[in-house]
Amino acid sequence: MDRSLYLQVLGAGPAGLSVGYYAKKQGIPFRIFEGSGQIGGNCRTIKEGDFKYDTGAHRFHDKKLDVTSEIKKLMGDDLLKVTAPSKIHKDGRMIDFPINLSNLLGNLSVGQIFNILIENLFNMKSYENGSTNFKELSYRTYGKTLSDLFLINYTEKLWGRPAEVLQDDISGNRLKNLDVGTMIKQKLFGSDHYKNLDGSFYYPRDGFGAIFESLADHIGDNNIHLDSPVNKILHDGNKITKLVCKNEEISETDIVISSLPINTMVDIMSPVPPNDIMSAVKDISYRNIKICVIYLDIPFFSNNASIYFPEKKFNFTRIYEPKNRSADMAPKEKTCIVVESPYSKDDELSSKSDDAVFEMVSGDLINTGLLDKNQIIGHSILDLSNAYPILDVNLKEKKKKILSYLNAFDNMHLIGRNAQFQYLHIHDIISHARSLIDDIS
């Protein structure tokens, strides 16, 4: 590659920063344009006094050896191995997650256990030809009883859609090794051979955002342009010819790598894309999250990395406690919990004030006996937009059409969860960035 040519990277979230990191290592000139005043996207660590918390229950999974090795070199001793368990809160009980057979036997009725075993013994023959949506996948893989107890209800809360209209790949690999067959193997041979994404993981001492702050440090401030939204993407039908960022016209568009949401990209393209693309993109949507951080005058809330809440009576889906990832995330005698409530733009939650969100969340926790009102010493509310792409089964063909149109531009590449409209883990995104730069160089 001609090293005098510039690589233009759109977005300074995990995807954009990963691209910049590998481009810097390869000696490829580049610039990153970020619309907000901060790096990290929805993977940031926020400091409030003596407390730190992440914008989500993020983890770094040891699933790609080359990526893990790179992050270990980057973070050094500040990358910790975490083995804190996770739980599902169901009917007032805490059930192990990943689910294990011994724990189920102690928490479910004889009838439920019998149904689970029978359903899985016959492997849901009615779905033996494959699944077309998440509900069918769940029933075919885990059986109706186990699915209805833990998977369907949680999934519908998280995505705001009935499980039968959600694509069967919405969870990535998160549900891998949760079937009854694996549970029996775990019981017989131990859990080390059958790991799920909620098992042990890596986590930076100062919060998950430290990974991306380290990437940004390596990249250099001179290569990252904050408060520089991409206002327009100009093209000739085959190539991106110019960018307008913060009203500055940029003609050095030899290669453009975008991590912007695909609907945003289509909306700012000039000339306007064909009518069928504009029509398809109107149905693209993302799930947002209200994060309620509650500061507590106690050493620990629990000993869990995350607690999942599948029941609809709770107005949130997940709680995580930063201190159970790293002791440096809160003072010794205090802690905080981060409570996630997903919503879409027209939901009732979207218009609730910060105080109303706190009262709703804390009220649920207090009424359930999980929290004592006198333990609360403060709270913060954070609103995250475009947290998850909503993978509706009806969007499969429309997504394919939009991505086909965008990928047809010779000098533009898409990367990241929102740009590819796909549920991706951080290790997948970093790995993709490395491959992309290797191909370019």
Q: What would the mean pLDDT of 390-403 be, rounded to a whole number?
A: 93
pLDDT tens by residue, 124-169: 455 555 678 999 888 888 888 988 988 899 999 999 999 999 998 8
Q: What is the mean pLDDT of the chain?
A: 90
pLDDT for res 216: 98
pLDDT for res 101: 75
pLDDT for res 97: 85
Beta strands in 334-398 (DSSP E): 335-343, 376-389
pLDDT for res 119: 82
User: By percentage, how much of the chain surpasses pLDDT 90?
Assistant: 73
pLDDT for res 233: 97
Please say if the pLDDT value at position 33 is more than 60: yes
Q: What would the mean pLDDT of 83-98 be, rounded to a whole number?
A: 90
**If pLDDT is split at 50, 70 and 90, which confidence band does 193 have?**
very low
CA nearest to 315, candidates 382, 380, 360, 379: 360
pLDDT for res 382: 96
Strand partners, 248: 245
pLDDT for res 214: 97
pTM of the prediction? 0.91
pLDDT for res 376: 98
Please say if the pLDDT value at position 296 is more than 70: yes
Domains in the chain, ordered, with CATH? 7-42+207-284+392-440 (3.50.50.60), 100-191 (no CATH)
- Are 351 and 262 spatial neighbours (Cβ–Cβ below 8 Å)? no
Report the range of poorest mean pLDDT among 103-112, 314-323, 346-355.
Answer: 103-112
- Are 7 and 440 spatial neighbours (Cβ–Cβ below 8 Å)? yes
- Are 434 and 66 spatial neighbours (Cβ–Cβ below 8 Å)? yes
pLDDT for res 142: 82
> What SS3 class is residue 354?
helix
Tokens at residue 370, please? Answer: 């999980």
pLDDT for res 189: 46
Q: What would the mean pLDDT of 255-279 be, rounded to a whole number?
A: 96
- Are 45 and 72 spatial neighbours (Cβ–Cβ below 8 Å)? no
> What SS3 class is residue 355?
helix
Strand partners, 137: none
